[in-house]
Amino acid sequence: MLYKKRIYIDLDRVKKRETICSVLNNKKYLSDEEYEFETVEVACIYDELTFRGYLFVLAPVIFLLKHFSFADDFVFYLVKKWMDLHKFQREYQKRPKSFFSSLMSLCVLLAFFVGQVLYRIKP
């Protein structure tokens, strides 16, 4: 059984890592303001282990975005939905009741548990 370990996120580390949003920002899909919103306001919601799990799970997507362009539009659509979800949460202080919101909650939970396992393997 894994116990919950919460390690607060280092925003400088987030900005230095290659993420989906940094690649989309480099490709000019995301504006600098949208990228800043994603890396500062949204990243503060999650802890370091969730971020570690996110990087591990989405490494193939980041690789595809960096080296190919066929998935750019689809991934950009998902990122925009993700940002809309967080903007809604910030404005109304609650989660929207939608399929996409449930899907994103499941993805965050998956990233959290993967991050917990990775922390146990290599702290």
Give the three-class secondary structure for 71: coil
Instruction: Evaluate if residue 2 carries a pLDDT over 70.
Output: no
pLDDT in tens, 71-113: 999 999 999 999 999 889 888 988 888 899 999 899 999 999 9
Number of domains in the chain: 1
pLDDT in tens, 31-52: 999 998 888 777 778 888 888 9
Is 4 a domain residue?
Answer: no
Is 75 a domain residue?
Answer: yes
Is 5 a domain residue?
Answer: no
Is 1 a domain residue?
Answer: no
Is 3 a domain residue?
Answer: no
As given in the structure block, the two tokens for residue 106 are: 């499941």
Is 105 a domain residue?
Answer: yes
Is 113 a domain residue?
Answer: yes
Mean pLDDT of 107-122: 91
| Residue 56: CA count within 13 A, CB half-sphere | 17
pTM: 0.82
Print the domain residue range for 36: 11-121
